[in-house]
Structure 1
Amino acid sequence: MHFLSADLEAYAEQNSEKEPSLLAALARETHLKVLQPRMLSGHLQGRFLSLLSKLICPKYIVEIGTFTGYATLCLAEGLSQEGFIHTIEVNEELEEIQNKYFEQSSYRSQIIQHFAPALSVIPTLPDGIDLVFIDADKKNYPNYLEAILPKMRKGGIILSDNVLWSGKVVENVKDNDKHTQVLISYNQQLANDSRLETILLPIRDGLSIARVR
Structure 2
Amino acid sequence: MHFIPEDLDNYVVNHSEDEPELLQQLSRETYQKILQPRMLSGHYQGRVLSMISKLINPKNILEIGTYTGYSALCLAEGMKSNGELHTIDIDEELFDFQRRYFDKSTYGKQIFQHLGNALDIIPKLDMVFDLVFIDADKENYSNYFNAIINKLNTGGIILSDNVLWSGKVLDKTFKKDDTSTPALIEYNALLKNDKRIETVLLPIRDGLTISRKM
- TM > 0.5: yes
- Structure 1 residue identity aligned to 2:104: Q
Partner Cα separation in structure 2 for residue 159 and residue 205 of structure 1: 13
Find the aligned partners of 2:7 and 2:32 in 1 and give their Cα distance.
23
Aligned to 2:209: 208
Structure 2 matches for 1:48-197, cutoff 5 A? Answer: 48-172=48-172, 173-197=174-198
Q: Find the aligned partners of 1:110 and 1:100 in 2 and give their Cα distance.
A: 14
- CA RMSD in angstroms comes to 1.0
Query: Offset of 1:178 from its aligned partner?
Result: 1.4
Q: Are 1:41 and 1:71, in contact at CA under 8 Å, matched by a contact in 2?
A: yes
> For residue 143 of structure 1, what is the amino acid of its counterpart?
N
Q: Secondary structure at 1:140's aligned position in 2?
A: helix
Unaligned 5+ runs, structure 1: none
Worse overlay, 118-127 or 142-151: 118-127
CA distance in 2, matches of 1:203, 1:133: 15
Cα distance in 1, alignment partners of residues 18 and 164 from structure 2? 26
Give the secondary structure class of the aligned counterpart of 2:154. Answer: strand
1:31 lines up with 2:31 in the alignment: yes
Q: Distance in 1 between the 2:92 and 2:8 partners?
A: 36
Q: Normalising by structure 2, report the TM-score.
A: 0.97
Is the 2:58–2:131 Cα contact (8 Å) retained in structure 1?
yes
Say if 1:127 and 1:153, in contact at 8 Å, map to a contact too.
no
2:15 corresponds in structure 1 to: 15
Query: Which structure 2 residue ranges, 5 or more long, are not aligned?
Result: none
Identity %: 59
In 1, Cα distance between the equivalents of 2:181 and 2:157? 24
TM-score, normalising length from structure 1?
Answer: 0.97
Counterpart residue identity of residue 167, structure 1: G
CA distance in structure 1 between the partners assigned to 2:127 and 2:182 by the alignment: 31
Give aligned pairs, total. 213
Mean Cα deviation higher: 1-10 or 39-48: 1-10
